Structure 1
Amino acid sequence: MELELRHLKTIRAIADAGSLTRAATALGLAQPALSAQLKRIERALGGALFERGRHGVRATALGELVLERSRIVLPAVTELQQEAARFARAPHATACFRLGGTHGPLLGAVVDRLADVAPDARVTTCISWSERELAGLLTEGRLDFALAGTCGSASPPGAEGLVWQEVAVDPVFVMVPEGHALAGAGEVDLAELAGADWACVPGDGCFGDCFTVACARAGFTPLRMYETDTSSLVHLVQVGRAVGLCRATFPDTPGIITRPLAGTPLTWRHLLGWHRVTQRAETAATVLAQARLAHAGVAAGSDSYARWTAAQPVP
Structure 2
Amino acid sequence: MELELRHFRIICTVAEAGSITKAASALGLAQPALTAQLHRIERTLGGPLFDRDRRGVRPTPLGELVLSRARLLLPAVSTLKEEAARLANATHPGATPARLRLGSANGHVLGGLVHQLNTSLPGLRITTHVSWSADELAAMVAECRLDFTLAGVCGDAQPPAQPGLHWRTLATDPVFVLLSDDHPLAGAQEVDLADLADENWGATPGDGCFGDCFAAACARAGFSPRSLYETDVTSCIDLVESGDAVVLCQPMFRRMPGVRAVPIAGNPLRWRNLLGWHPEAPAAGFAARLLELARAAYRDVTARSPRYAAFLRENPEFGVPDATPVV
Q: TM-score, normalised by structure 1?
A: 0.75
Aligned partners of 1:82, 1:47: CA distance in 2, in Å?
Answer: 34
- 1:155-170 map, 5 Å: 155-156=159-160, 158=162, 162-170=165-173
CA distance in 2, matches of 1:149, 1:174: 18
Cα distance between partner residues in 1 of 2:61 and 2:251: 62
TM superposition shift of 1:11: 1.2
Tell me what 2:18 maps to.
Answer: 18
Give the total of aligned pairs: 308
Is residue 279 of structure 1 aligned with residue 275 of structure 2? Answer: no
Offset of 1:74 from its aligned partner? 1.9
Question: Deviation of residue 4 (structure 1)?
Answer: 1.3
Matched, 1:177 2:167: no
Report the AA paired with residue 156 of structure 1.
Answer: P
Gaps of 5+ in 1: none
- How far 1:181 sits from its partner (Å)? 2.8
CA distance in 2, matches of 1:155, 1:187: 30
- Residue 179 of structure 1 aligns to a residue in which SS? coil
Q: Contact 1:170–1:249 at 8 Å: present in 2 too?
A: no
**Larger deviation: 133-142 or 230-239?**
133-142
Q: Which amino acid aligns with 2:282?
A: T
For residue 227 of structure 2, the aligned residue among 220, 223, 229 is: 223
CA–CA distance in structure 2, aligned partners of residues 62 and 242 of structure 1: 66
Q: Aligned in 2, Cα 1:280/1:187: closer, same or farther, shift over 3 Å?
A: same
Query: Is the 1:49–1:63 contact (alpha carbons within 8 Å) kept by the matching residues of 2?
Result: yes
Superposed CA deviations along residues 166-207 of structure 1, whole A, max 9, x for unmatched, are 222323222111332333263332x5444433333344x236
Give CA deviations for 1:224-261 in whole Å, capped at 9, x if unaligned: 61511x34433432342321121234344444332344
Alpha-carbon distance in structure 2 between the residues aligned to 1:55 and 1:268: 58
Identity in percent? 44
- Most deviating of 191-200 and 285-294: 191-200
Could you say what the CA RMSD is over the residues aligned between the two structures, in angstroms?
A: 4.0
Distance in 2 of aligned mates of 1:302 and 1:154: 31
Alignment of 1:104-253 (within 5 A): 104-114=107-117, 118=120, 122=124, 124=126, 126=128, 128-130=130-132, 131=134, 134-135=137-138, 138=141, 144-152=147-155, 153-156=157-160, 158=162, 162-183=165-186, 184=188, 186-189=190-193, 192-203=195-206, 205-206=207-208, 209-210=211-212, 213-214=215-216, 217=219, 219-220=223-224, 222-223=226-227, 225-228=229-232, 230-253=233-256
Q: Is the 8 A contact 1:97 1:121 kept in 2?
A: no
CA contact (8 A) 2:200 2:227 kept: yes
Name which of structure 1's ranges 15-24 and 232-241 shifts more when overlaid on structure 2: 232-241
- Asked whether the 8 Å contact 1:109–1:295 carries over to 2, the reply is yes
Q: Secondary structure at the match of 1:126?
A: strand
Q: Is the Cα–Cα contact under 8 Å of residues 252 and 302 in structure 1 kept in the other structure?
A: no
Distance 1:223 1:7 in 2: 55
2: CA distance between counterparts of 1:212 and 1:12?
Answer: 49
Looking at structure 2, the residues matched to 42 and 119 of structure 1 have their Cα atoms a distance apart, in angstroms, of 52
Structure 1 residue 56: Cα displacement:
2.6
For residues 104 and 150 of structure 1, the distance between their equivalents in structure 2, rounded to whole angstroms, comes to: 11
Structure 2 residue runs of 5 or longer lacking an equivalent are 319-327
Q: What is the match of residue 322 of structure 2?
A: none
For residue 291 of structure 1, what is the aligned residue in structure 2? 294
Shift of the 114–32 alpha-carbon distance from structure 1 to 2, 3 Å rule, reads: closer
1:288 to partner: Cα distance: 0.9
Please list, as runs of the form range in 1=range in 2, the aligned pairs for 1:55-94 lying within 5 A after superposition: 55-82=55-82, 93-94=96-97
Q: In structure 1, the residue corresponding to 2:71 is in which secondary structure? A: helix
Aligned CA distance change for structure 1 residues 311 and 90 (closer, same or farther; 3 Å): closer
Letter in 2 for 1:74: L
Distance in 1 separating the partners of 2:114 and 2:33: 52
1:257 matched to 2:260? yes
| Larger RCO (CA within 8 A; separation ≥ 6) | 2
**Is contact 1:214-1:266 (8 Å) kept?**
no
